[in-house]
Structure 1
Amino acid sequence: MTTSPLISEFDAQTGVATLTFNRPEVLNALSIPMAEAFLAAVKTLHSQSGLRCIVLTGSGRSFMAGGDVASMAGTKEQIRDFINGLLVPLNEAILLLRSIGAPMIAAVKGPAAGAGLSLALMADIVVAEDRAKFLIAYNGIGAVPDCGCTWFLPHKAGATRAAEMMILGRQLSAQEAKDWGLITSIAPSDSYDEILATTIKRVASGPTKAFGAFRQLVDQAAGRSLAQQLEAERQAFLKIAHTGDFEEGVSAFLAKRPAAFSGQ
């Protein structure tokens, strides 16, 4: 029986979608079939009603160890075809994911290397096991980062630290990654699943549309002047003010009770 390189699940009751990279025998290294399956799953999520949260994770003892280096040997044409076969669907999937309003959580166990680092940093929240490791890895094969690493990493850690990871091959422990601002929280292995579940529940029960608007504002801030960003914030606030969650949030605040957001 053929095992799918990516497992996609959606819980209609909680609104949580989980995408699991599923090549544990090679630490979930990216293959073309995995990249294509990832894009197909993301396209489905893009039109999924009731979506409140997206979780990215990996099977076995790794989040993702980057691209499948064994497939990067061959003629120039074969290498070109492999890189394009990998990155064209992955790039489309990343852009689609960042355009979805639902917040993303990366659940990281073991190494997040190469493209795995990029995809972890793409998430809004990163929950890492205390034994997790973070590294660029591209320098080891004489390549350049991909899957948005050169955007997400300096965006979160700064250009100097990004250069240290790339040029000096700096590998970060979970604690170092947290100190650098790359991840949100660390959990010991014996309580990791519980802490992750609590985080997912908290994120999925929040004001989903406001979270999506927040991410869009942050993503676009670097390309705007302060005046343009202020106007974008005003427009976003006006749009969110027409949502059910905003109405509920204001009512709950005035009634001095916890808000019960529905994602609408």
Structure 2
Amino acid sequence: MSNSIELKIENNVAWISLNRPEVFNSFNREMAFLLQETLDNCENDTNVRAIVITGNGKAFCAGQDLKEVTDPELNPGFRKILEEHYNPIIQKIRNIEKPIIGAVNGVAAGAGANIALACDIVVATDHASFIQAFSKIGLIPDSAGTFFLPRLIGFQKATALMMLGDKVSAEEALNMGMIYKIYPSSFFEEEVMTLATTLAQMPTKAIGLTKRLLNQSVTNNLEQQLALESDLQIEASSSNDYKEGVTAFVEKRKPEFKGN
């Protein structure tokens, strides 16, 4: 049984750690499939109401393990790597209707950077960095980097970072709107867990519907988005958490959401 992905569940938070620190958590085929399986399990586990993706060791993720793609016996080929490894990971991160935090504890390069940026909320340690490393080896950005990065920081800045492969510090990433917050490395895990626990205690149904709306806003026009907001607001207002939220407001107490 591989331990390239570690999972712990505490306080309704699933903490997923990429665990190949000896190669900076770079992906091989086994780890990619195991991450997909873990995400599926977290989606289906009603005890999980928030998810954290982070890395063990010094790095978040260095992207693809190049030893795998240069080994004639192990190399699955780029089409399989994209269509069977990274594309499903990105789709699962976006389609799971639970909040997902990308907790970048070190360097996030290539596909590793873009997996982080696909998460709902991205936080980083003060020594973390991001790099669109593809052009350094004659490749193009994948793992939805060309989709998310321009939307986060603008077309011009994204173009430059992808073409030049510049290394971006956590502070630079924060200033350009790439990430949400920076936490000092000395208590990074504690801060991330506090954030994740806060999300896990919120109305999970409404959070998930909000995520669906944000996904659809990329392709919807105004009329379509307004119509979808109406439909999903009706759905949210039928939830037990809505009833609890209103009752708690009237009773002037803190709501106790159950996630349904």
Letter in 1 for 2:203: P
- Asked if the contact 2:93–2:119 (Cα under 8 Å) also holds between the matched residues in 1, the reply is no
Write the distance in 2 (CA, Å) between the matches of 1:139 and 1:190: 33
Write the distance in 1 (CA, Å) between the matches of 2:254 and 2:86: 39
Stretches of structure 2 lacking an aligned partner (at least 5 in a row): none
Residue from 156, 170, 174 that aligns with 2:170: 174
- Deviating 4+ runs (over 4 angstroms): none
Letter in 2 for 1:91: N
**Is 1:82 aligned with 2:100?**
no
| Residue of structure 2 equivalent to 1:70 | 67
Question: Alpha-carbon deviation of 1:3?
Answer: 4.9
Write the distance in 1 (CA, Å) between the matches of 2:85 and 2:138: 23
Write the distance in 2 (CA, Å) between the matches of 1:160 and 1:255: 50
| Residue of structure 1 equivalent to 2:112 | 116
Write the distance in 2 (CA, Å) between the matches of 1:234 and 1:3: 45
Question: Alpha-carbon deviation of 1:36?
Answer: 1.2
Write the distance in 1 (CA, Å) between the matches of 2:74 and 2:158: 30
Question: Alpha-carbon deviation of 1:31?
Answer: 0.6
Write the distance in 2 (CA, Å) between the matches of 1:96 and 1:29: 19
Write the distance in 2 (CA, Å) between the matches of 1:204 and 1:251: 20
Write the distance in 2 (CA, Å) between the matches of 1:15 and 1:195: 16
1:257 partner SS: coil
Question: Alpha-carbon deviation of 1:43?
Answer: 2.1
> CA deviation digits over 1:206-260, x for unaligned, max 9?
1111111111111111211101100100111000001111111112222232222
Write the distance in 2 (CA, Å) between the matches of 1:190 and 1:46: 30
**Is 1:231 aligned with 2:227?**
yes
Letter in 1 for 2:77: F
Write the distance in 1 (CA, Å) between the matches of 2:218 and 2:2: 42
**Is 1:212 aligned with 2:211?**
no
1:186 partner SS: strand
- Asked if the contact 2:248–2:255 (Cα under 8 Å) also holds between the matched residues in 1, the reply is yes
Residue from 91, 95, 100 that aligns with 1:99: 95
2:185 partner SS: coil
After superposition, residues 1-264 of structure 1 pair within 5 angstroms as 3-11=2-10, 14-73=11-70, 81-87=76-82, 88-264=84-260
- The TM-score normalised by the length of structure 2 is 0.93
> CA deviation digits over 1:106-149, x for unaligned, max 9?
11111011111111111111121100001110111110111111
Letter in 2 for 1:123: C
Tell me the matched-pair count. Answer: 259
2:54 partner SS: strand
Write the distance in 2 (CA, Å) between the matches of 1:137 and 1:209: 37
Identity of aligned residues (%): 36
> CA deviation digits over 1:153-180, x for unaligned, max 9?
1121121111011112222111111111
Question: Alpha-carbon deviation of 1:261?
Answer: 1.3
- Asked if the contact 1:43–1:93 (Cα under 8 Å) also holds between the matched residues in 2, the reply is no
Write the distance in 1 (CA, Å) between the matches of 2:44 and 2:127: 35
RMSD: 1.8
Write the distance in 2 (CA, Å) between the matches of 1:231 and 1:262: 27
- Asked if the contact 1:10–1:17 (Cα under 8 Å) also holds between the matched residues in 2, the reply is yes
**CA distance 1:5–1:74, shift in 2 (3 Å):** closer
Larger mean CA deviation between 247-256 and 139-148 belongs to 247-256
Question: Alpha-carbon deviation of 1:74?
Answer: 5.7
- The TM-score normalised by the length of structure 1 is 0.92
